[in-house]
Chain A
Amino acid sequence: MFVLDPEIYRRYRDQVLALCNSFQRIGQRGFSDREIAERLGLEERVVTEIRCVAERDMYGLDEWQRAIEFKRRVSREWQAAALKRPDLKEPPKPPEP
């Protein structure tokens, strides 16, 4: 099993993220691992590992919890508006104990 050197990961993570498809624009594609490897002077396999780890490492568990809260809130707001049922809106949070 190929395990990436954590020091290499720390050094190149931001550059790889900036060059790949993690942040996208219409009509301007991100670079492939092979293209990034050529630019940074790394092996393609190393770039693939940096990218895969960075994709997972970009946001911590809190962001995953926020995702749940986001979906619940906006879907209920939409239902309340689309179905004209204000009662479906997310109730206000109870005060902290």
Chain B
Amino acid sequence: MAHLPEDARHRLRDVALKAGAVVCGVADAAAFEKHAPAGHRPADFLPGARAVIVVGGAAPRAGDWQASPWVLQTMGTTERIQGVGRRLAQYVEAEFGYYALYLPPGTESGSNPFVSLMLAAELAGLGSRSLAGPVLNREHGFLYWSAVATTAPLPVDGPEDEGACPAPACRQMWERERTTPCLSVCPIDGGGCLGGELVNGRPVRHSYDRDRCATRVHTHWIGGFQQVLEATLNEPDREKRKMMLYGDYFTRTLWALTYSSTNMAQCFECLRVCPAAHGLRPLE
């Protein structure tokens, strides 16, 4: 068995932060068993996995949050943090002599992930679930995540005790109006995606409509493409078919698909209004 240097964690963190991550933690691979179904745990992809290294970063800039959804979606940030994950996997194998597998960030089938990167971030103590859905880091707010499973016996972190959600402003709003900024902007009872409440100061999400959320987050993406394709095939009028295929919606969708992941996420409205999502430092 390879010898793991005592400062392995420290070195990994250094490499991650130099590569562009803002946070780095390690989750116990066995901890996934309690939360994730079989087939979606790190050891299902890397037999013998003991730890999962998780990095977060590439958050939207303060200027991005001010922009329209059509500008915000062109940040291309997921790619940047994915590169950090790939680099860490290479580093673990080259420097420590243990297997390391970059956990794929895409979907295994339909909307289901291979491994939940948000769960990995939670188990690595880097953040916790918000009412809006994404895992928020207490210092940096909303981040993108990347994870590497490894057989290296790294010391692990545990989930954090207190999350960034709800922010103090949201607690006050809840006391006053029985809603929060995210629930108010996208309410499930009003044609949106989110339903929940604060119980003893903690977020309890009652419902989240993932498929409606997909129409907003992936407005110009694979689902919309399939919808237009079906509608076009069913449309008997040739002129109308032309309007559907050459129109703005389908053209934008094709641009998004061919730009690949720089246009993956296209709705940020629940996080735009979230006081905990934008990090700590205010700008003028």
Write the residues of chain A forming the contact surface with B, with a CB cutoff of 8 angstroms: 20-26, 29, 31-35, 48, 51-52, 55-56, 58-61, 63-68, 70-72, 74-76, 78-79, 82-83
Contact = CB atoms under 8 A, between A and B. Distances in A.
15 contacts: A26-B196, A33-B109, A51-B109, A51-B110, A55-B111, A58-B212, A64-B224, A66-B191, A70-B186, A70-B192, A70-B269, A71-B269, A79-B66, A82-B66, A83-B66
B38 interface: yes
Contacts, number: 114
B60 interface: no
A63 B207 contact: no
B112 A34 contact: no
B22 to A, nearest CB: 23
B129 interface: yes
Given A24-B207, A71-B267, A48 B109 contact: yes
Given A29-B35, A35-B37, A64-B227, 6 more contacts: A24-B205, A32-B38, A61-B227, A63-B215, A67-B267, A78-B269
DSSP majority for the B interface?
mixed
Interface of B: 35-40, 66, 68-69, 109-112, 129, 185-186, 191-192, 196, 203-212, 214-216, 219, 223-224, 226-228, 231, 249, 266-267, 269, 272-273
Contacts of B231: 61
A74 B207 contact: no
A72 to B, nearest CB: 7
B272 to A, nearest CB: 6
A26 B207 CA distance: 8
A48 B210 contact: no
